[in-house]
Amino acid sequence: MKKIIVVNNPSRWPLDSGEIKLVSPKEYIEDQKLATIKKLRVFNLCNDYAYQTTGYYVSLLAEARGHTAVPSVKNILDLKANTVIKSVSDEFDDLIQASLKTIKSNEFILSVYFGHNVAKKYHRLANELQKLFQAPFLRAKFLKTKKWELKSVRPIPFKEIPAHHLPYVHEFACAFFAKKRYSQAKNEKYLYDLAILVNPKEKAPPSNEGALKKFEEAAKKLCCYVDFITRDDYNRIGEYDAMFIRETTSVNHYTYRFARRAEAEGLAVIDSPEAILKCANKVYLTETLNVGKIPIPKTHIITARGLKAIEKDIEFPCVLKLPDSSFSMGVVKVENSVELRQQAMNMFKQSDLLLIQKYTPTRFDWRIGILDNEALFACKYYMAQDHWQIYNWASSEADKVSGDFENIPLEDVPKPIVEMALKATRLIGRGLFGVDLKEINGHPLLIEVNDNPNIDRGIEDLLLGDLIYEKIIRSLLRRANSR
């Protein structure tokens, strides 16, 4: 994506990189050649962002032209919203108290330039404010009564920056625009900015390190610059063209909020918030599959009060599930009524509804990978040794935590298995899914649809190799182009 900087006096900005074009607000607003450039990121460093000022209109026109404005009009309006300021003050209370604890007065003004303050001890606080509000120059006002609170955040007009701060501002600007993703010389071959959401501490992530590297390679091959982001980057989502979630998703979780925010900001996103909503909660998914007449194991959705009434209809052993279970966690097999009541009592502390499902043992589960309503891959996931599930998290032996696997060419998979997987995902939408099925006497039985399926190096990619990564990235880019 091409980049320009809009400043009131370009001659006063001797940026060392020389790789990003500096233009005046007048030039950006009136030059039709700039107006028609596609894939343009506009860094708005105008003197003022107040409503109907030139700075406001630079960001407004940028968005109307399909350019990406920093700050966006939304960010500009957020700077005026007291509720936003209050939530920021609450969210970063510990950081605020730690950063300002040595200040003796009851008022403190913090100037933020590209995420920095001239005093290094305030760098972390300045950086967090810049990430939240995405404006190059900010002035944050803190007041102390019983404790320090953030009272206001406003953009700093360039003309109000003290003269003795200007050398620092230029230094911070040069460092900011020298970052790899903002360097035009290094990024001239990149047409898109792709964010891949990961959690480095996750116990069982949907993609291992080898797969993440392959996704990065495939994206670069297709002219994407790649950033691996974490939960701390929520307020940077608007900087990207597309987002790929490679962390286990859940509705009551920041991954869902990331997906919602990305979609609202106009990004292409996998997994979509709709897919997370329909797949991550087993109650929702069960109802969706029942309405779609997809065969599933006999399932009861129960409340604490309703458990006793259906006990007589339950065939033991059975499987008890939390609605937001994943990777075999939050799923237990119970052998009798006593066990059922004990396990359910614990689970009802986490959810008002539980699922009881008929126990259907098999040596393996089919996993059919679906991308945009087409079969992508097929695997057999075998049960963990001496266990009834694919994962046995209780095992103390690493080689017994998960079962073996086998890649199967799609043409060798029983046709009803693939057809049922496709039928199920059509109920949910277009995207990337992993459909788990059992084969009982030659007939498929659908277990669940995963919106965030495993794509691991050395497992799901064994037959397709690099092509599996390229297909998924291409799908994201088609979405980005259509948006």
Radius of gyration, alpha carbons of the chain: 26
pLDDT above 90: residue 469: yes
Strand-pair partners of 228? 196
The secondary structure of residue 4, as a DSSP letter, is E
Cis before residue 317, ω within 30 degrees of 0?
Answer: yes
Cis before residue 136, ω within 30 degrees of 0?
Answer: no
Cα–Cα distance, 166 to 289 (Å, whole number): 62
Q: What is the 3-state secondary structure (H, E, C) of 81-112?
A: CHHHHHHHHHHCHHHHHHHHCCCCCCEEEEEE
E strand or H helix at 476: helix 466-482
What mean pLDDT do residues 171-175 have? 84
| Residue position matching structure tokens 């695997």 | 379
Q: Is the separation of the CB atoms in 391 and 401 below 8 Å?
A: yes
What mean pLDDT do residues 200-221 have? 95
Q: Is the separation of the CB atoms in 323 and 354 below 8 Å?
A: yes
pLDDT category of residue 186 using cuts at 50, 70 and 90: very low
| Residue position matching structure tokens 């026109």 | 61
380-423 confidence digits (pLDDT tens): 999 988 888 888 877 778 777 788 999 999 999 999 999 999 99
- Give the per-residue pLDDT at 194: 95
In the β-sheet with 432-440, what is the strand arrangement from edge to edge? 405-407, 374-382, 364-371, 432-440, 443-450
The secondary structure of residue 113, as a DSSP letter, is E
Residues near 415 by Cβ (< 8 Å), separated by ≥ 6?
none
Cα–Cα distance, 358 to 472 (Å, whole number): 35
The answer to which of 22-31, 139-148, 278-287, 423-432 has the lowest mean pLDDT is: 278-287
Q: Provide DSSP, 248-269.
A: ---TTSHHHHHHHHHHHTT-EE
Please give the mean pLDDT across all residues of the chain: 87
Of the chain, the percentage scoring pLDDT greater than 70 comes to: 93
Strands (E), 28-72: 40-44, 68-70
Q: Is the separation of the CB atoms in 124 and 105 below 8 Å?
A: no
pLDDT above 70: residue 180: no
Q: Is the separation of the CB atoms in 393 and 328 below 8 Å?
A: yes
What mean pLDDT do residues 91-111 have? 91
131-149 confidence digits (pLDDT tens): 777 778 899 999 998 899 9
Helix (H), strand (E) counts: the chain: 17, 20
Could you tell me the domains of the chain?
A: 1-78+159-188 (no CATH), 88-156 (no CATH), 189-271 (3.40.50.20), 298-358 (3.30.1490.20), 362-465 (3.30.470.20)
> What single-letter amino acid sits at 80?
K
69-96 confidence digits (pLDDT tens): 888 887 777 676 666 677 666 778 889 9
| Residue position matching structure tokens 């911070």 | 172
> What single-letter amino acid sits at 365?
D
